[in-house]
Amino acid sequence: MPLQLTNSLVFLDLETTGTNVVHDRIIEIAMIKLMPNGNRLTFYKRINPEQTIPIESSLIHGIYTEDLKDKPTFKQIGKELIAFLKGADLAGFNLLRFDIPILVESFLRAELEFKVETRKIVDVQKLFHLMEKRTLKAAYQFYCQKELDGAHNAMVDIEATLEVLMEQIKRYENQPVVDSLGNALGIIKNDVATLHHLTNTNMVDFAGRIVYNAQHIPIFNFGKHKGKSVSEVLKLEPSYYKWMIQGDFPLDTKRKLTQIKMGIID
């Protein structure tokens, strides 16, 4: 069934040097433009970010700094992008939280005007989450085909959780698990060690402030040092340790930070 369109609708996806909207740069842009008459146009470019791509990011999207040395900069293709996007509404997956903010930032940096306010925006991820609820009640209905009566009573909830897990194992046993970035995490098995590994694969602290990267090195998952090795940051900027220890962080995070500093966790 074709989409009912008044304006053209551009589906947009970006690859970037990282996830920081202010500091990271676009390195690949792909767009499909659906026209009200049913025609379809495409736009694809790789872009020189004028900065080094961190190896952690390259391992995810497969694009390395040397791949882009002869590609145009964002400023050089900015007007071409604006022409393709002219009069179009926007659609994408996680568009509102990432793609649009970093695209707007890139246009502003290039001193080019790109207005979002006049466009309709469809975030496919948000629609997915609205329709496929991520609650225990929804999981109980999906896996067990039963209504959860008395939700938020602790014993009712935990009985339902037990049933859901057993149904998950029955449904998924021996199936491979891949994360949102396409990384293979393992195979679902009916044993707690395997399930632990799959559901806690990169956690260092429970608050998620520190995680393991693809090389199993603890990295910061927030703030100005996001994506950087914790050990390296603490060596180069010792005051950052003091700031976190004195700051409003969970005690578990502070404990794990200290253990990394002392070499107990590496």
Fold of 9-128: Nucleotidyltransferase; domain 5 (3.30.420)
- pLDDT tens digit at each of 266 positions of the chain: 678 898 999 999 999 999 888 889 999 999 999 999 999 999 999 999 999 999 988 988 899 999 999 999 999 999 999 999 999 999 999 898 889 999 999 999 999 989 888 899 999 888 888 788 889 999 999 999 999 988 778 888 889 999 999 999 999 999 998 876 677 888 999 988 888 888 866 889 888 899 998 888 999 999 999 999 999 999 999 999 999 999 999 989 999 999 999 999 87
Pairing, β 40-46 against β 89-92: unpaired
> Would you tell me how many other CB atoms lie within 10 Å of the CB of residue 16?
23
In three-state secondary structure terms, 11 is strand
Predicted confidence (pLDDT) per residue in 1-22, tens digit: 678 898 999 999 999 999 888 8
Please state the pTM of the whole predicted model. 0.66
The pLDDT, as a whole number, for residue 180 is 66
**Whole-number Å distance between alpha carbons of 64 and 53:** 6
The pLDDT, as a whole number, for residue 266 is 72
**Whole-number Å distance between alpha carbons of 15 and 205:** 28
Domain coordinates of the chain in residue numbers?
A: 9-128, 136-199, 210-262
Contact by Cβ (8 Å): 228, 219: yes
**What backbone phi and psi angles, to 5 degrees, belong to 174?**
75, 10
The pLDDT, as a whole number, for residue 56 is 86
The pLDDT, as a whole number, for residue 103 is 94
In three-state secondary structure terms, 243 is helix
The pLDDT, as a whole number, for residue 218 is 95
The pLDDT, as a whole number, for residue 50 is 96
The pLDDT, as a whole number, for residue 208 is 87
The pLDDT, as a whole number, for residue 125 is 87
